[in-house]
Amino acid sequence: MLNVVVLVSGGGTNLQAIIDAVESGVITNAKIAGVISNNKNAYALERAQKHGIRGLCISPKEYASREEFNEKFLEEVEKMNPDLIVLAGFLVVIPPAMIERYRNRIINIHPSLIPSFCGTGFYGLKVHEAALARGVKVVGATVHFVDEGTDTGPIILQKAVEVQQGDTPEVLQRRVMEQAEWKILPQAINLIANGKVTVENGKVNIAE
Distance of closest approach, residue 14 Cβ to ligand GAR, in angstroms: 3
Q: How far apart are CA 87 and CA 9, in angstroms?
A: 9
Q: CB under 6 A: which stretch of 26-34, 74-82, 120-128, 132-140 binds ligand GAR?
A: 120-128
Cα of 64 vs its chain's centroid, Å: 27
> In the sheet where 2-8 sits, what is the strand order?
55-57, 30-37, 2-8, 84-87, 106-110, 138-145, 155-162
Selected binder of ligand GAR within 34, 55, 82, 89 (CB under 6 A): 89
Query: Which lies closer to ligand GAR via its Cβ, residue 109 or residue 204?
Result: 109
Q: Which of residues 149-178 bind ligand GAR (CB under 6 A)?
A: 177
How big is the site for ligand GAR, counted in residues (CB under 6 A)? 17
Q: Which residues of 125-158 are buried (b: 16+ CB within 10 A; e: fewer)?
A: eebbbbbbeeeeeebbbbbbbbbeebbbbbbbbb
Name the H helices within 8-95: 13-24, 43-50, 66-79
Q: Which of residues 125-144 bind ligand GAR (CB under 6 A)?
A: 127
Selected binder of ligand GAR within 55, 111, 154, 186 (CB under 6 A): 111
181 touching ligand GAR, by CB under 6 A: yes
Q: Is 128 known to be catalytic?
A: no
Backbone angles phi and psi of 160, in degrees to 5 = -90, 150
Q: How far apart are CA 125 and CA 173, in angstroms?
A: 7
Selected binder of ligand GAR within 123, 132, 147, 167 (CB under 6 A): 123
7 touching ligand GAR, by CB under 6 A: no
DSSP single-letter state for residue 154: P
Query: Which lies closer to ligand GAR via its Cβ, residue 10 or residue 154?
Result: 10
| Residue ranges that bind ligand GAR, judged by CB under 6 A | 8, 10-14, 44, 88-89, 109-111, 123-124, 127, 177, 181
Active site residues: 110
